[in-house]
Amino acid sequence: MPQKYYLGGKSTSAVELMPEDQQTLTDASLEVTNGQTIMKFTKIMDESGEIELVIGDNNFLWAFGSSTALDYHAQRESYVQNLSTDVSTE
C-alpha cells in the first residue's frame, strides 16, 4: 500500500517509514494488473513539517524498481506538475 517515508539519503538504510501519526494518505490502493503496479492515494497539500503542495508548479519524483522489495531503483526521474486546475485545496 502507498505510505509516506522519510528519504534521508540514497541508501535503503536511509529510508524510514514515517510514524503512524504522519500516515495521512487517504483512499490508498495498490493494484497489479498484467505486470503493471498502479498506486493511487489522496495527499493533504499542506502538512506541518512537510513540503507544501501548491496550486501551480510542483516538483515531483517518480521511480520504480525491479522487484517488490524496497531497494535501489531501476529507473527514476523528477518532473514538474502544475496543480492549477481541477484541484481542491482541502
- pLDDT band at residue 27 using 50, 70 and 90 as cut-offs: very high
Report d(CA 57, CA 80) in Å as an integer: 6
pLDDT for the residue numbered 86: 59
The DSSP bridge pattern shows strands 5-7 and 15-17 to be antiparallel
CB 16 within 8 A of CB 8: yes
pLDDT for the residue numbered 88: 53
pTM above 0.75, yes or no: yes
* DSSP label at residue 59: E
57-66, pLDDT tens digit by residue? 999 988 888 8
Interval 65-79 mean pLDDT: 84
Checking if the pLDDT of 87 tops 70, the result is no
